[in-house]
Chains A and B, each alone.
Chain A
Amino acid sequence: MPSALDATTNAQLRRPNLPLITLPWLACALLGLAMLMLGRFLGSYQETLMQQVGIFAIAAVSLNIVNGLAGQFSMGHAGFMAVGAYVAAATTYYGSLLHFNTAELQPGLFNFGHVLMLIGLLAGALVAAALGYLVGLPSLRLRGDYLAIVTLGFGEIVRVLLQQTSPQVNGKDPAEIAAFTDAPLRTLARIPLNGALGFEGVPAYATNLWIWTFVGITCLAAYRIKESSSGRAFLSIREDEIAARAMGINLTKYKVRAFVLAAFFAGIAGGLLAHAGVTTSPIDAGFQRSFEIIIVVVLGGLGSISGAVLAAIVFVLLPQVLHPIKDYRLVIFALLLISMMLLRPKGLFGVREIWNILPRRAAHTKPGATP
């Protein structure tokens, strides 16, 4: 079946991208430095926006691995995010209670609180990845729409289950903290994640520096995945499963791998969200959040990592810039989504990266470059 996504790009796949090995590192370093400085120039509102952009970017880039590269339409990405968020939140919150006897933010650039956050992020990402493995398994038998529904169902199940958890230990009540530190395991066995009210009071260790460091790591990892043999396998599965199988690609292995990788980074995004000073609520696992991430990925281009980051920036900042349209935000993005599918089905950048577009044009315009 001819596909509008066909432009995937034999030319692009063959392109050497040597400068890019160093370029992303450089970009990350610059970005990190910028973020460190940014705190001095930006108000707290702008900082919050930057955090949102960063977390959205990680979520979009991770969804891009499974939706954009492997072509497996996952609509439960917010579910993975929420799992990561809750695991990370619980690790830091209860870890802080045990270690510091309080859930307050500990001052300093790096202390045991940050270690707890990193442990929490890793744990959340691993649990999310394990769930990604479970959700990825049905993708072997389910195509397109069915898979979309199953993943959507996964997100909803996560939401419903999170709503059933028991109240959290109140970090402001010394008696409750004492009861918790006496028998932490017995308390944790109740799964004290505060049900439908949402998990509160997680110390906000995830500053812009941390978040954008992880944006850099995620983008770099996603980019390396895209350019690896796995990435090639993902793209071929997306284009034509039967042809991919005929070329000796193990569909089972690669589809599940795409899900696990995407879920892992979604877990990190969720973990950072939990540490960004907001309440982690079961609603975050619902399909509305999943749809928002899908919009970002589709607008940026299915398969384009830099496109996803750019779209995340636009998605969060555009309504802020055009303040009067704030209420019409989702209407506008829905219209954008539809018109994008009608006019430019592969998204802003398609499978390419931003830096792939500019030199390519230049090469074409060179006299004698065309045969």
Chain B
Amino acid sequence: MTELLQTLTTTIAVGSLYALLALGYTLVYGVLKFINFAHSDIFVLGAWTTFTAANVLTDRLGINPTQSPWWGAVLILLLTIAVCATVGYLIERFAYRPLRKAPRLNVLITAIGVSLLLQNLGQLNGRVTVATDKDGRPTATLPFGSTPRSMPPLLPDLVLNETVLSQGTLAGGTQRGLVKLDQPLTMLDGRTYRIEFTRTADGQPRREVLALTATAGTFPPGTDLATQPRRSPAEVDGLPYSLIRSPRVPIMLVDVVIVAVAITLMLGLEFLVFRTRLGRAMRALSFNIENAALMGINVNAVISFTFVLGTALAAAAAFLYPLKYPGLNQPAHQIWVLLGLKAFIAAVVGGIGNIRGAVLGGFLIAGIEFFGTLYGDKLFISLGARPGLGTSLADVYVFSILILVLLVKPNGLLGSPVKEKV
């Protein structure tokens, strides 16, 4: 049950990222009728822009986005969206627009070309250093990188649903250098507990985990905290502490932010597409470009706008992704292409060209990936395979679902059938 709920939270968080990316694919497919293979590379560009901006913010400007100026993160989000949307516009204008009347195969090949171009430019530009650490080693490069990097935190590492069991003051023990809690505590269940205390160092209030034991805060059932080895009394004597019980299914602030931002953007998109004149123009284009042009719609402008909208959504996803997975791979790494592929599969499974379908598909694909990993491994072990086999086959499950859906319902779950005309 615990595993199931944990997988569910991951699915919802990652699913909303897939959904954001899938929306980009579906929007472009809706009006232009081709897969924008460069979409995942726009996403990579966004992730590395976020990384670069975060480094500049923390290293150069000395702003810690996890602390007081909370708008630091918002600034990075807006910057990422601006960069990606600009690049997206340029791609549409100079690579795709001249091919609007060309066969789809040519556009597809161009899209692959753009994707390869972005990947390899990104790898090469990793040599341009923007920020360095104290020893002069580069911490950020323009605009991507060629080696894997780790993202500085933009959000505090908070678990939202943990319970504070007790608060008090640490009493300094004079004998044997022990620090005692002001009340005895006994752990009765198997959950994780940790103790936090507030300390004023270098003038700024900081929350910090007090490592009570060498094993940093995981206490088995029945542990009496009073018997655990302690820090030196001078260090923590008299500090207020709180004993916090971690939940069985932790809900991280990161996950909540991801889901909240994603859902806000999806609702905004829904409003834009179904309630505004511009949205009506987009829908008209996706129905029939020639007729839409006859009705006085500025086809080029609306297509450009749709493209920019799609890349902006990818940029938002690219901002959210490194919050959850701080390890960023080099731009041409297969993990990015796989991510883009999964999002595309989500769009296809939901019914490409259908906005709600893309969202549904995003959550569905994430579910298949994570629940497949959870239960696939158990299934394979029970069949006598070695542990870990079921986990490493996650991508296989996703592609199998794609093939299955395409064979059974070629237009996707929510897609409308397309009549073929001679």
Nearest-CB distance from A148 to chain B (Å)? 6
**Closest beta carbon of chain A to B126's beta carbon, Å:** 11
B338 contacts which of A156, A163, A242 (Cβ < 8 Å)? A156
Q: What residue in chain A is nearest B110 (Cβ atoms)?
A: A341
B267 at the interface (CB under 8 A from A): no
Listed residue (B344, B345, B407) with the most chain A CB atoms within 10 angstroms of its CB: B407
CB distance from B94 to the nearest CB of A (A): 9
B104 engages A333 (CB within 8 Å): no
B348:A149 contact, CB within 8 angstroms: yes
Using a CB-CB cutoff of 8 Å, which residues 372-390 of chain B contact chain A?
389
Of the residues A1, A160, A333, contact of B116 by C-beta under 8 Å: A333
Contacts of A82 in B (CB 8 A): none
Complex CA distance for A157 and B395, rounded to whole angstroms:
7
Q: Is the CB of A334 within 8 A of B120?
A: yes
Does B393 make an interface contact (CB < 8 A)?
yes
Residues on A with C-beta less than 8 A from B406 are 138, 141-142, 146, 150
B98 on the interface (CB 8 Å rule)? yes
Q: Which residues of A contact B396 (CB under 8 A)?
A: 157, 160-161
Q: How far apart sit A83 and B19, CA to CA, in the bound complex (Å)? A: 34
Does A133 reach chain B (CB closer than 8 Å)? Answer: no
Asked if B117 and A73 sit within 8 Å, CB to CB, the answer is no
Tell me if B284 is interfacial: C-beta within 8 Å of chain A: no
How far does the alpha carbon of A338 sit from the alpha carbon of B407 in the complex, in Å? 32
Chain A interface bracket (under 10, 10 to 19, 20 to 34, 35 or more): 35 or more
Whether A142 contacts B410 in the complex (CB less than 8 A), given A160-B393, A164-B392, A291-B112, comes out as yes
What mask results when residues 1 to 17 of chain A are scored 1 for a CB within 8 Å of chain B, else 0? 11111000000000000
Q: Is there an interface contact between B98 and A342, defined as CB atoms closer than 8 Å?
A: yes
Q: Does B399 contact A (CB under 8 A)?
A: yes
**A286 interface residue, CB < 8 Å from B?**
yes
Chain B residues within an 8 Å CB radius of A342: 95, 98-99, 110
Decide if B103 touches A5 in the complex (CB within 8 Å): yes
Q: List, in ascending order, chain B residues with CB within 8 A of A29's CB.
A: none
**Interface mask (A180-208 → B, CB under 8 Å = 1, otherwise 0):** 00000000000000000000000000000
Hey, what's the 0/1 contact readout for A328-363 against B, CB within 8 Å counting as 1? 101101110110011001000000000000000000
**Whole-angstrom distance between the Cβ of A64 and the nearest chain B Cβ:** 13
Contact with B along A100-134 (1 / 0, CB 8 A): 00000000000000000000000000000000000
Check if B281 is an interface residue, CB within 8 A of chain A.
no
Does B334 lie within 8 Å of A4, measured CB to CB? Answer: no
Residues of A within 8 A of B410 (CB): 141-142, 146
Size category of the B interface is 35 or more
Contact A149 B120 (CB under 8 A): no
Chain B proximity of A194: nearest CB distance (Å): 15
Complex CA distance for A4 and B107, rounded to whole angstroms: 12
Contact with A along B303-344 (1 / 0, CB 8 A): 000000000000000000000000000001010011001001
**Which of B29, B120, B399 is close to A157, meaning CB atoms less than 8 Å apart?**
B399
B103 touches A148 (CB 8 A): no
Q: Does A298 reach chain B (CB closer than 8 Å)?
A: yes
A288 within 8 Å of B (CB atoms)? yes
How far apart are A331's CB and chain B's nearest CB, in angstroms? Answer: 4
Report Cα–Cα, A141/B34, bound state, in Å.
Answer: 17
Distance to closest chain B CB from A235 (angstroms):
14
A2 (CB) vs chain B CBs: closest residue: B101
Query: Does B114 reach chain A (CB closer than 8 Å)?
Result: yes
Residue in B106, B124, B348, B400 whose Cβ sees the most chain A Cβ within 10 Å: B106
* Complex Cα spacing A331 to B396, Å: 30
B116 touches A330 (CB 8 A): yes
Residues of chain B contacted by A144 (CB below 8 angstroms) = 104-105, 108
With A and B bound together, what is the CA distance between A291 and B420 in angstroms? 30
**Does residue A32 face the partner (Cβ distance < 8 Å to B)?**
no
CB distance from B364 to the nearest CB of A (A): 16
In angstroms, Cα B121 to Cα A341, docked, is 19
Distance from A318 Cβ to chain B, minimum over Cβ atoms (Å) = 15
| Interface residue B113 (Cβ < 8 Å from any Cβ of A) | yes
Q: Given A145-B34, A334-B116, A242–B108 Cβ distance below 8 Å?
A: no
> Do B113 and A73 touch (CB < 8 A)?
no
B195: interface (CB < 8 Å): no
Q: Is A287 an interface residue (CB 8 A)?
A: yes
- The answer to whether A211 has its CB under 8 Å from any CB of chain B is no
Most-contacted residue by chain A among B113, B117, B337, B396 (CB, 10 A): B113
A327 partner residues in chain B, CB cutoff 8 A: 124
B16 CB to closest chain A CB, in angstroms? 22
Question: Do the beta carbons of B334 and A71 come within 8 Å of each other?
Answer: no
Q: Which residue of A lies closest to B385 (CB)?
A: A164
Asked if A153 CB lies within 8 Å of chain B CBs, one says yes
Is there a chain B Cβ closer than 8 Å to A294's Cβ? yes
Closest A residue by C-beta to B344: A149
Is B422's beta carbon under 8 Å from chain A?
A: yes
Assembly CA distance A141 to B410 (angstroms): 7
B402 contact set on A, CB distance < 8 A: 149-150, 153
CB <8 Å contact, B422 and A242:
yes
Q: Tell me the complex Cα distance, A328–B410, Å.
A: 40
**Can you report 25 residue pairs joining A to B where beta carbons are below 8 Å apart?**
A3-B103, A141-B407, A142-B406, A148-B108, A149-B345, A150-B402, A150-B406, A156-B399, A157-B395, A157-B399, A160-B396, A164-B392, A242-B422, A291-B116, A294-B109, A298-B109, A330-B116, A331-B120, A337-B116, A338-B95, A341-B99, A341-B107, A341-B109, A342-B95, A342-B98
A residues touching B (Cβ–Cβ < 8 Å)? 1-5, 71, 73, 138, 141-142, 144-146, 148-150, 152-154, 156-157, 160-161, 163-164, 242, 286-288, 291, 294-295, 298, 302, 327-328, 330-331, 333-335, 337-338, 341-342, 345
8 A-B pairs with least C-beta separation: A337-B113, A153-B399, A334-B117, A334-B116, A338-B113, A330-B120, A341-B110, A331-B120
13 further A-B contacts with Cβ under 8 Å, apart from A142-B406, A331-B124, A341-B109, are A2-B101, A4-B102, A5-B106, A73-B108, A141-B406, A145-B108, A152-B341, A163-B392, A287-B337, A288-B332, A291-B116, A337-B110, A341-B106
